[in-house]
Structure 1
Amino acid sequence: MTETTTTTPAQRGPSDHAIRTQIVEAATKHFSLYGYEKTTVSDLAKAIGFSKAYIYKFYDSKQAIGEVICANCLTAIVKAVDEAVAGVPSAADRLRRMFRALVEESVRLFFQDRKLYAIAAAAAAERWPPVKAYEVHVRQLVLQIVREGRESGEFERKTPLDEATSAIYLTMRPFFDPLLLQHNLDLAEEAPALLSSLILRSLAP
């Protein structure tokens, strides 16, 4: 299947992974407790025992730290989705499993830590690089499943591949996009099965 494409933001300063990890862990804790908007770099510096200037040697802004946390969350979702479809021979079954895993992992993040989910929502609204990479990965996975379904004879071949891929992606998006999912939580349990069936009927040869 496609490789995970969620990217970690470019880093600056000394390549001390332990300190970078310490900063991100402290930020994750503070964002969970107080929210992304209410946490400042000064708060993080105080929690870790560093100066604000020292943190800026590693990350040039609070958003840069937030991007790392966002990338970590989205990478976990991508990993779960890739594992859900790995080794499944039928393209139709892979599409069903992909959709369900996307929704389940996105909802899990939403309920597990609402304040961390708020980072993902802010990232989606502001189009941070990890979100763009995440969307590209999902699109690539959909395209690959549709292409392989056509090659195996499971899916029709008349609709342009890009058009079919975009239509499927847009159908799924309200249930994994952070900005949209919060408005569709009451439908998240039933949507994957119902919409997967609808999509697969449209793909039938």
Structure 2
Amino acid sequence: MTNSPTPITPQRGPTDHDVRDQIVQAATEYFGRYGYEKTTVSDLAKAIGFSKAYIYKFFDSKQAIGEVICGNRLQMIMTTVDDAIHSVPSAPEKLRRMFRALVDAGSYLFFHDRKLYDIAATSASEAWPSLQAYENYLKTLVLQIIREGREAGDFERKTPLDEAVNAIYLVMRPYVNPLLLQHNLDHATEATGHLSSLILRSLAP
């Protein structure tokens, strides 16, 4: 007797979207317990009660499942950052709060959801699209803050905008990239304050 589900039809059973969500939810729990690297699609299929072939109808690889989970976790960090800078009036304070929120959210995920954090670290080491989207989000946010600061007269205008954005991101990267943050946790909070001040001095008009 197998555990393979009845094929989905438009009239009965769950929709494709529902099944995908079910797989992702189960995979999140399984990866969170046993880790991403040590888990195979066969392991996951047995845990969920689906056949391996059925899972491959919705995801073409284990990485594709990991991509969704990673994207969900990184989205949590981005939402935390957006909440932290929402309604903050000045660009300098937005930059400080953005940096601090990124480190705090990443550190929390590392200490409270370590095995799922490892998926984000894997995405960084292998340059998954989910991590690339996260990096683009950060650079875009830094760009918006710099533009806002320049318009308000808080930041200098001589440095080319793209150069300033890239330089700030490189300073932040060891504390916001999941692969690198895990090696810089001991002094991350202190470093956030010092580096934010350094960045703001370099941006002063």
| 1:102 maps to 2:102 | yes
**Aligned residue for 2:185?**
185
**Aligned residue for 2:3?**
none
Q: CA deviation at 1:17?
A: 2.0
Q: CA deviation at 1:15?
A: 5.3
**Aligned residue for 1:133?**
133
Residues matched between the structures, number: 192
Percent identity reads: 70
| 1:170 maps to 2:170 | yes
| 1:31 maps to 2:40 | no
Any unmatched runs of 5+ in structure 2?
1-13
Task: Describe how 1:52-67 pairs up with structure 2 within 5 A.
Answer: 52-67=52-67
Distance in 2 (CA, whole Å) between partners of 1:151 and 1:137 is 21
What RMSD in Å do the two structures reach over aligned CA positions?
A: 1.1
Any unmatched runs of 5+ in structure 1?
1-13
Q: Secondary structure at the match of 2:78?
A: helix
Distance in 2 (CA, whole Å) between partners of 1:133 and 1:63 is 16
Q: Secondary structure at the match of 1:186?
A: coil
Distance in 1 (CA, whole Å) between partners of 2:103 and 2:111 is 12
Q: Secondary structure at the match of 1:189?
A: helix
Q: CA deviation at 1:118?
A: 0.9
Task: Describe how 1:8-27 pairs up with structure 2 within 5 A.
Answer: 16-27=16-27
**Aligned residue for 1:117?**
117
Q: Which amino acid aligns with 2:52?
A: K
Q: CA deviation at 1:184?
A: 0.5
Q: CA deviation at 1:76?
A: 0.6
TM-score w.r.t. length of structure 1: 0.91
TM-score w.r.t. length of structure 2: 0.91
**Aligned residue for 1:152?**
152
**Aligned residue for 1:197?**
197
Q: CA deviation at 1:104?
A: 0.4
Instruction: Compare 24-33 and 14-23 and name the one that shifted more.
Output: 14-23
Q: Secondary structure at the match of 1:158?
A: coil
Distance in 1 (CA, whole Å) between partners of 2:53 and 2:78 is 34
Q: Which amino acid aligns with 2:175?
A: F
Q: CA deviation at 1:49?
A: 1.1
**Which is bigger in relative contact order (C-alpha 8 A, separation at least 6)?**
1
Which has the greater radius of gyration?
A: 2
* CA deviation vs aligned residue, 1:92-117 (integer Å, no higher than 9, x gap): 00000000000000101111111111
Task: Describe how 1:75-90 pairs up with structure 2 within 5 A.
Answer: 75-90=75-90
